Structure 1
Amino acid sequence: MRNLLGELGYTDEEIRQKLDNTWNELFYGATDVRIYHPMGDDKGYMVDTGNNDVRSEGMSYGMMMAVQMDKKEEFDRLWNYAKEFMQHKEGRYKDYFAWHCKLDGTRLSQGPAPDGEEFFAMALFFASSRWGEGPGPFNYAGQAAAILRACLHQGERGGDPMWEPSNKLIKFVPESPFSDPSYHLPHFYELFALRADEEDRSFWAEAAAASRAYLHKACHPVTGLSPEYANYDGTPAEPQPHGDFRHFYSDAYRVAANIALDYEWFRKDPWQVEQCNRIQRFFRNIEVSDYRRYTIAGEAFEEPALHPVGLLATLAMASLAADGPDAGHFVRLFWNTPLRTGERRYYDNCLYFFSLLALSGNYRMYG
């Protein structure tokens, strides 16, 4: 993997120290920084500090962080928690994960959120390749395959699939007729096409191509901004009962990072280079402290960004694909920005750590 931090002059020792320090702060640091907590003898959880709950998003993120850092104990603790408290054993959501719980594992909602499932599956496949297989629930590859099987075939057993069969695009939730651009991870689907059930591998290869094409439609051709929720044709989705998500806000920050990692891993879509240039160009002269909610055309709202450090992290990660004059600026700005502290730190610091992994060449494919 490309080590962009090294290319910009940071030494291997500096990079390794920053990686290790960031891991230690997030997993074992001070109370106003850490987001991981062990639970009992064999479990652990990632806390969404802004809501004081546990989410499938954060649990799957934590597992991906752990497998990338070769931290098997923390990985297995997180997986044990998710498996016991969050994964459905029966019914219309069988093998899906309840999207959020109390810290003790009590479910706050039964419904799943597909970004968790795709990260769980990918982290489990990587764990299988790094550490080998063990007895259940640590038969990692088998567990990953079961999740993906449910994602595609739940409609055959009384529920709803997580990918729309007619267009092979991931849904916002299994029941929804629209998508979330930040859920689209074609670089994961390329690998699912190699490791999922054989009968489903062609679907995943087609889903990778479909997601790349979808992102062309969902990202604005001038600003590069995308909405939080979008219809299958890429247009912003109508306001939902729980809010108006037609604009560029928290979920949408991840799109730039996902596009850049897909480019780094597979380089199948030259459009991704200019897309990363485009979004960096939009933010180049905006101070981090002045990041806001925006229409996808670039009109700023009075409402400030809820997660400015997270947004900066994704803009820096976009430099893996960007070849414009702003790429180095965002990486250096990111390097000199500390982890966020306080109540809203969870989402910012998850994106921060993924960006640090990617920019240092340590967000890798295993297997």
Structure 2
Amino acid sequence: MKRLLVCLLVLTLAVPGFALAQGGTPVPAGVTGELLYIPFPVAIAVEGDLSDWADVPHYTVDKGPNLSGDPAENGSFTVALAASADTFYITMTMADRNIVAGQHGTNFWNENSLEFYLNLTGDFYAPVYTKGMYQVNINAADIGNTDPGALTLTGTNSDTLPLSGYVFKTDEGWGFEAEVPLAGLFEIAHGAEIGFQAQANGATQTDRDVKLIWSNADTGDTSWQDPTVFGRAIFYELGQTDVPQPSGPPADDESSGGFDWAGLPWGEIVRATWEGYKANYIFCGEQCGNNLGLVFDPNMGYQAVSEGVGYGLLMAVMMDDQATFDTVYDAAHDIMLDPATGLLNWRVDNTGAITGETSATDAEEDIAAALIFAQSRVDRGEWAQHAERPYGDSANALIDAIYTYEVADGRYLTPGDAWDGEGQEILNLSYFAPAWYRIFDDFQGTDRWQPVITYGYRSLFTTDGAPLGLAPDWSTSDGGPAYDYCDAHGRERSACLYEMTFDAIRVPWRIGLDCLWFDEARACQWSGRTAEFLKALPPDQFGRLYDMDGVPVVSYQNEMMDGMWLVASLASGDEELQQQLAQQLYTVTGNALTEGYWGGSAQYYFNQSLAWFGASLLSGDFQNLYSSAD
């Protein structure tokens, strides 16, 4: 569809334009949301005074996925472009009566900020960021800056762009003026074409609640990860009489812009993001408690949760990284263990102080599975046994504790050791890990986990989303909403959602493993339903988070969703869907090999974890190590 729009653009280009005072040369108007013309040479002095922009065409944007109800409060933004012989100029202003700035750390996208995007490569169909593609976020916290070379820039590759400028207040709000010398990056000439996008983030109170986007092709706010949704900008030399047209798609482009999806280096990406994971969440110095050894969450003030311990141990054992495995294992035992139950307290801060008592079942399950895998590496002679706490012994003790304190009536999985309801009044299906339970039974020589598997699948298949392969975050054991429990226990309904959001997005992974590793018919059926649901969606609804009717509840995609839906596609055996989701996941690898993280930010350890699990299954690095222990 995007290629078709470009082809149609050539036919529908509007020729009437603006008159520029310098020489009186008409500048074509372009096509709203698709094409802009950049007049050059124009004399612009970047000094925070917009008077020399008076005769340059300005474009107003008041559309996007999240609009403001008040024109004076993030209701629109303007953008204007110009150039000299070798420098690109841009100014953007925003109507903003209440400027929210400096409230979200480096997450400037979550408050008042203006963004522009450049693709200087000439390849407008590359689905991932490469050298020469830039996302530049300029934020309102820099208002009044006096050093034009010291703006606080964020966004993909923004640190490599030689940008300088000023951020200032206006009568209606705020804005910026900036210049980018293009020598060595791009040669300005009449008809030279670049990819371009402009966006505005607006926070009317605290968090972002307004998003405005210039490019018509970006219907899902995906420009930060997918440069194919940029529009175009063409340099127009003053005094010329012809109107340059945008280029069309390559002649050999059929479905992926000529991009070789078959030969992607998934193993290399998985290794690089594991190294980044360690650097960002385990060994990040003072923020990580001077490398205390746990998995710390930047988005939670660098606290550590037991869930992260499970993720870190699973990653380390799959990556054959015993040193990191033992570091996390030892720290969890020394800092988080509750000796009364043998389970872990669910949260501590980066001094090691407990900030969240009692357990979370999913964490213990993942930790126990990781310990079994570690023991399997010992049994094969790949690892040396832990000198103080043999992995297998710890796995046995932890599995017993899980069964004792986190399973009710021998069949109902509870969210943790301190929840009422006996596993029936409230259930988190993203904690249901049937592949792990089969391994637990085999490892211990029992069959006590079989009823937990039976009742877990029964709950899963009785939810309202079951026909579509969608599971809710929270439910009762009979598949209905758990609102009665939450109301009775003072739990906000927003933390008890009967939708598939940030908890249940893990269900495709949990259930997919049971299909991929054990060929469980119910798991494969579930994954097949999920695949059919995804395949039937229009592009602007694909691969998101949903309610139980399959209606998206967010307007964006990210690496977390990509990784988890990918597991469902692998378990379903649908190769076309696998390719589509692999392609989508690959679009967020722009920082993976160079910076060690997925997407545009390393802020969210949870997103990074789930993306890694999906990619590591794709690369073959995530394996059932226990089955290979013979």
The answer to whether the superposition gives a TM-score over 0.5 is yes
CA 1:233–1:333: 2 relative to 1, 3 Å: same
Find the residue that maps to 1:45 and give its secondary structure: coil
Find the residue that maps to 2:605 and give its secondary structure: helix
Residue correspondence of structure 1 range 24-173 to structure 2 within 5 A: 24-28=275-279, 34-37=280-283, 43-52=292-301, 53-90=303-340, 94-130=341-377, 131-137=383-389, 139-153=390-404, 161-166=405-410, 168-173=411-416
**Distance in 1 of aligned mates of 2:621 and 2:535:** 26
Report the TM-score, using the length of structure 2 for normalisation.
0.50
- RMSD (CA atoms): 2.5
CA 1:343–1:66: 2 relative to 1, 3 Å: closer
CA 1:172–1:304: 2 relative to 1, 3 Å: farther
Unaligned 5+ segments in structure 1 are 1-6, 29-33, 154-160
Per-residue deviation, 1:334: 0.9
Find the residue that maps to 1:218 and give its secondary structure: coil
CA 1:297–1:176: 2 relative to 1, 3 Å: farther
CA 1:222–1:36: 2 relative to 1, 3 Å: same
Corresponding position of 1:313: 563
Residue correspondence of structure 1 range 227-238 to structure 2 within 5 A: 227-238=472-483
Q: Which amino acid aligns with 2:409?
A: P
CA 1:102–1:233: 2 relative to 1, 3 Å: same
**Distance in 2 of aligned mates of 1:309 and 1:273:** 19
Report the TM-score, using the length of structure 1 for normalisation.
0.83
CA 1:282–1:257: 2 relative to 1, 3 Å: farther
**Distance in 2 of aligned mates of 1:128 and 1:247:** 37
Per-residue deviation, 1:300: 4.0
Residue correspondence of structure 1 range 1-367 to structure 2 within 5 A: 9-10=262-263, 14-28=265-279, 34-37=280-283, 43-52=292-301, 53-90=303-340, 94-130=341-377, 131-137=383-389, 139-153=390-404, 161-166=405-410, 168-174=411-417, 175-177=419-421, 178-196=426-444, 198=445, 201-218=446-463, 220-238=465-483, 240=486, 241-244=490-493, 245-269=497-521, 270-281=524-535, 285-286=539-540, 291=544, 294-301=546-553, 308-324=558-574, 325-338=576-589, 339-342=598-601, 344-366=603-625, 367=629
Q: Going by fraction, where is strand more abundant, 1 or 2?
A: 2
Deviation readout 1:71-92 (Å, 9 max, x if unpaired): 00110010111101101112xx
CA 1:328–1:284: 2 relative to 1, 3 Å: farther
Q: Which amino acid aligns with 1:95?
A: G
Q: Going by fraction, where is helix more abundant, 1 or 2?
A: 1
Contact 2:465–2:472, Cα closer than 8 Å, also in 1: no
CA 1:72–1:16: 2 relative to 1, 3 Å: same
CA 1:224–1:101: 2 relative to 1, 3 Å: same
Corresponding position of 1:3: none
Q: How many residues align?
A: 335
Q: In percent, how many aligned pairs have the same letter?
A: 21
Per-residue deviation, 1:165: 1.8
Greater relative contact order (Cα < 8 A, sep 6+) = 1
Contact 2:371–2:392, Cα closer than 8 Å, also in 1: yes
Q: Which amino acid aligns with 1:45?
A: L
Runs of 4+ in 1 over 4 A off after TM superposition: 38-43
Deviation readout 1:301-358 (Å, 9 max, x if unpaired): 4x656x8321121111211112444332112211222203447421110001111111
Unaligned 5+ segments in structure 2 are 1-259, 378-382, 590-597
**Distance in 1 of aligned mates of 2:271 and 2:299:** 25
Contact 1:284–1:326, Cα closer than 8 Å, also in 2: no
Q: Which amino acid aligns with 2:528?
A: E
Find the residue that maps to 1:54 and give its secondary structure: strand
Corresponding position of 1:31: none
Deviation readout 1:174-207 (Å, 9 max, x if unpaired): 32322101011101101001113x4xx2112332
CA 1:36–1:267: 2 relative to 1, 3 Å: same
**Distance in 2 of aligned mates of 1:335 and 1:100:** 32
Q: Which amino acid aligns with 1:108?
A: T
State the structure with more CA Rg: 2
Contact 1:225–1:248, Cα closer than 8 Å, also in 2: yes
Per-residue deviation, 1:276: 2.9
**Distance in 2 of aligned mates of 1:89 and 1:55:** 17
Deviation readout 1:246-270 (Å, 9 max, x if unpaired): 2221001000121212111011214
